[in-house]
Amino acid sequence: MSSGIRRRSVLSAAALGSAVGSLGLSAPASAQPVLGAGPSTAAPPAEDGYDLWLRYRQVEDSGQLERYRAALGTLVRQGGGPLQQSAEDELARGLTGLLGTPVVPRATAPSGAALVVGTPTSSALIRELVPAADLAELGDEGYVIRRVTKRGRDRTGVAAHADRGVLYGAFHLLRLVQTRQPLEHLDLTERPAAPLRVADHWDNADGSIERGYAGRSFFDWEKLPRLDDRYTDYARVLASIGINGAVINNVNTPADYLAEPFLTKLAALAGVLRRYGVTLYVTANFAAPIDLDGLDTADPFDPGVRGWWTKKAEEIYGKIEDFGGFLVKANSEGRPGPLDYGRTHADGANLLAGALRPYGGIVMWRAFVHDGDEKWDRQAYLDFTPLDGKFADNAVVQIKNGPIDFQVREPAHPLFGSLPRTNSMIELQVTQEYTGHATHLCYLVPQWKEVLDFDTLKAGEGSTVARVVTGRVHSYPHSGFAGVMNFGDARNWTGSHLAAANTHGYGRLSWNPELSAQDLAAEWTRMTFGNDPHVVTTVSALLLDSWRTYEDYTSPLGTGYLTHPPDGSVTEHFDPSPTTTVREGGPDLASQRLRRPGGGPGTGLTGFRRARTVGDTPAITRRMAPVRPRGIARACAAAGASPPRTRSWRPTSRIHR
């Protein structure tokens, strides 16, 4: 397709355009300091992005600063384990920067106001401030933040049933101060919507990252088990947005991660993550028994294979006692799996689940099955719905947000709500594989919200995707979120400074999918760039308009499907070309329609309808014609530039054949 303009020239400027040029977004990516060390009392002249949203600059308003100092200037913690220590460290670091005065933790309460953190088990002060009944229903990750006045003394309490909740509460309190919220009548209760909130990394042992646009992997397997400060900073960042798990290797993985020397390296990394409540997971290659120990089969029904996985689990847990389990991509894009032996996806998942069960581990089994384009939009539905109820109770089916592959426009995946007896979780792509890499601004939270808020109607009205993947439609013991991460070794972690808004938004939505895109955009902007109203309004507007704008100038009405570079391959997924979809044998997405539940393979399917006739074409092309120029104009306006001269986008005749 020839458009008269290359999209690299459109929003690469808009993403970091003149509208935000005063924010200092152009600093280089180089060294690796400790995140948040030595907080400044003012914004640095050139922010390099390393601190992400954990920027603890001194409160500017003198009156507000005094109120914060009076309430939070004294930090008290009594007892607790390593997670409470991490909470104390973060509060001391953050409040020292925000208040502009040293905050030194202590174990005894002063006569005046104080911030008190802990659990009823570890702290007598917490028992006095927050009744145990108020924490009983919050689980190990929920918390209460409350302002209490007793005997004339003001106390701000961060209380939880378990230490992990204390850590999450500490980050929440810091977020309130970063966004300049009043604390005088503070009384809030939080608990996560889902138990699994996982960061998936598609990182390879050689340092490359599949679909990575922020440099190379920061997991340095040559140096591990020797640790780097960046690992601690990574764990802090995850904990700050409520992420409690990390898969550290690519879904297209070799078997090497399940053997030495990797196990020793993984154990060292797990030790860092553990201090911030992050559980380590590993992607497992289904053919590992063959690749590592020379078995002649990986058949899940073979006794030797079952014994191999049992021994392997024992070996791993001997090194990492809180190991989370495995992520598996099987029988998709050439990966090995149980179908190679005439078995089912449930058979394969249950093989690994059985080996992990004695240790409390789980297996996350991806529902992305793509070995041909003809049934790509429905293959997962056809493969997995007959298996409902056949997966082990510690196996979770991990389902992409849509039935294709993280496109800029897709309907909700038809598997959501179609597996009432099978644990389910949603997979979102934080890295921008199909949405502009690190070159284009595309804030994906509005897209994710559209999917999460979609009502599947599978168990009646209100059966939204969000309620499905948080176990509120069907009582799943395991459910939640997986996000394919956009982190690399770039100085600012995400390549583009504004891409970090997607990372923040993913974590916050995984904790609470009811949050709005508007509130999350404003929150990230305030935490990252400060609370100046003009900055908050400008950056939030750029973020919130970017997804629709990106769709308009690359894939009007969602017709782009695959994107590719000029050489015609589909490996880079960057430039738009609907014609490639047809040439590769895929569906005619120029005339696709989204249908509501009622048709297709199974009741309530939401998917792509292939309209092969050309009768619909004129109306569709007329509607698409002005869309792309409109998107280009909006992108250029955001960058303060004039739109280039270009003809209207029209699909070529090939797309209708």
List the catalytic residue out of 228, 388, 405, 450: 405
Q: Where are the alpha helices (DSSP H) in 512-577?
A: 517-529, 533-554
Helix (H, G, I), strand (E, B) or coil at 415: coil
CA 518 to chain centre: 18
**DSSP string for 570-626:** SSS--SB-HHHHHHTT---GGG-EE--SSBSSSTTB--EE---SSTTHHHHHHHHTT
- CA–CA separation, 364 and 198 (whole Å): 11
Region of residue 438 (phi > 0: left; psi between -120 and 50: alpha; otherwise: beta): alpha
Burial class from Cβ neighbours inside 10 Å (0-12, 13-18, 19+) for residue 92 reads middle
Catalytic status, residue 572: no
List the catalytic residue out of 333, 371, 514, 519: 333
- Do 214 and 439 form a contact (C-beta atoms < 8 A)? no
Phi then psi for residue 455, to 5 deg, are -90, 115
Spatial CA neighbour of 415 closest among 394, 400, 430, 395: 400
Q: Which residues pair with 143 in a beta bridge?
A: 190
Q: Which residues contact 595 (CB under 8 A, 6 or more apart)?
A: 606, 607, 609
Pull the structure tokens for residue 100. Answer: 């502009």
- Do 153 and 175 form a contact (C-beta atoms < 8 A)? no
Phi then psi for residue 484, to 5 deg, are -75, 115
List the catalytic residue out of 88, 141, 433, 455: 433
CA 552 to chain centre: 25
Return the residue matching tokens 């510690």.
394
Pull the structure tokens for residue 344. Answer: 């089912």
Spatial CA neighbour of 484 closest among 202, 269, 238, 281: 202
Catalytic status, residue 514: no
Catalytic status, residue 90: no
Pull the structure tokens for residue 613. Answer: 């006739």
Helix (H, G, I), strand (E, B) or coil at 24: coil
Residues with a catalytic annotation lie at 333, 405, 433
